[in-house]
A = this chain, B = another copy of it.
Amino acid sequence: MNVLAVAGSLRTASINAAFCRAAARLAPAGLEITVFHGLGDLPHYNPDLEDRPPAGVADLRTAVVRADALLIASPEYAHGVSGVMKNALDWLVGFEEFVNKPVAVVNTSARAYHAYDALLETLRTMSATIVTEASVTIPLLGALVTEEAILASPTVSSQVRRALISLASFLDRDGVAGPSFPVGSR
């Protein structure tokens, strides 16, 4: 099962990017997590270009198609979703293959809920399948802001692993094969 991890910040020392990298290393057997690095290469969303999407958009869409699920971790800027993250989603709103895509959204800040709630609202509106059991808050405070610190913390790394196991179980049960397999063969 292939999962595409997307961090909504371009900051080099981004906590959400560190979370995505740590998640890739904590993934349970059978779950392969690839971190997407192309958000900064996307053009600004322009509805006029929907029919002839620029190169960066094609890369994003191809990565989404190849993934059985998305794992999103995104910061809150001024009580809102980061423009970088929302811009990527804007390019996927009209993309049919995003519909029903399983998405886990992890909130890495216990205090921030505006952006997290808004992200879930947008993803639901885009007809993503929110994997609620894997969409948890895992506060990465103080010293836990790097990949190595996350991996070194038994508490946090087990929280991450638990979320990923929930995502894997969901995909195993409902996700990967999805409605394209005949029901009788499952």
Known: A10-B48, A80-B89, A80-B121. 8 other contacts (CB 8 A): A10-B44, A12-B48, A39-B44, A40-B46, A44-B83, A77-B86, A78-B93, A84-B87
A88 to B81, CA, bound (A): 12
Q: Is A108 an interface residue (CB 8 A)?
A: no
Q: Is A185 an interface residue (CB 8 A)?
A: no
**Number of copies of this kind of chain in the complex:** 2
Q: Which of B83, B90, B124 makes the CB contact (< 8 A) with A45?
A: B83
A86 CB contact (under 8 Å) in B82, B125, B126? B82
Minimum Cβ distance to chain B for residue A87 (Å)? 3
- Give the chain B neighbours of A11 by CB distance below 8 A: 46-48
